[in-house]
A and B are shown apart, each in its own frame.
Chain A
């Protein structure tokens, strides 16, 4: 996996405030192409559409606890679909309990960011997914 500043990133969170915070942080890192979804179901549809159009997402940054489809169910959908199963996935969540971290790792999350987090922590987590630094 390469960290391409032109890659398309999907931000999934039911709180528009949090989507904006994540987007601001990603923009500071040099990324510029984003799509947003308020929960897992529309996110899953966007992921499938992007794949069909031949321009898959390079990264999904998703909240866990959302009304509708949760971030964990979105992750499971991605990992069980042959076409998109290797999409890098970062869970950004307030659910920092050890049991939750283990559950997400078992489901195939690439990294786990516990809220609240700083720009520096966020960048480190993303770089680790793409094995940079």
Chain B
């Protein structure tokens, strides 16, 4: 849990409202997935709104979020050193570079975080979010193009080997 009162501080230049019940499942799933699959204890840093096409990390995965109640996409993005530490733990091999053998781990992490958060939101909030398959994006300091335009809610996490972010853009259909 990210705090007993389930509140979250967001850094934003403009007033911005967010349903905490929406972002918390993703934060908690991220921490849980990395702990269980990669023995990595990440810590949440800050929650903020991306204002433009700011770069994300060096390797990312994005997945669409389709529900009768909203549309959008979710992404996770790692700095290279952070990703290599995590994937080395996941696969029990010491990787020094991102390569064909390990690059789809970012898709699997995205899949697990999204799946876990989706299950919780579908079961507890009745959102009926559909299954989806992540796409991997690779490139030094690349930009992630989300499925729809809008404010990009971003959460930064730290590990001992660097940082990573999760981000989501959503649009209500109600």
Chain A residues close to B by CB (< 8 Å): 14-18, 20-21, 24, 64-67, 93-100, 114-118
Contact B107 A65 (CB under 8 A): no
8 A-B contacts, Cβ less than 8 Å apart?
A15-B111, A67-B133, A94-B114, A94-B116, A94-B119, A98-B123, A115-B116, A116-B112
| Alpha-carbon separation in the docked complex, A28 to B87 (Å) | 19
A94: B residues at CB distance < 8 A: 111-112, 114-116, 119
Is B28 at the interface (CB under 8 A from chain A)?
Answer: no
A97: B residues at CB distance < 8 A: 118-119, 122-123
Is B91 at the interface (CB under 8 A from chain A)?
Answer: yes
Q: Which one of A14, A17, A95, A100 lies within 8 Å of B90 (CB-CB)?
A: A17
Knowing that A65-B133, A115-B33, A116-B116 touch, tell me 9 more A-B residue pairs with CB under 8 angstroms. A14-B133, A17-B108, A21-B37, A24-B91, A67-B133, A94-B112, A96-B115, A96-B119, A100-B119
Which secondary structure dominates where chain B touches chain A?
helix
Q: Which of B33, B102, B116 has the most CB of A within 10 A?
A: B116
The A/B interface has a contact count, at CB < 8 Å, of: 68
Residue total for B at the interface (Cβ-Cβ under 8 A): 26
Chain B residue at minimal CB-CB distance from A63: B111
Contact A116 B111 (CB under 8 A): no
Chain B residue at minimal CB-CB distance from A70: B131
B116: A residues at CB distance < 8 A: 94, 96, 114-116
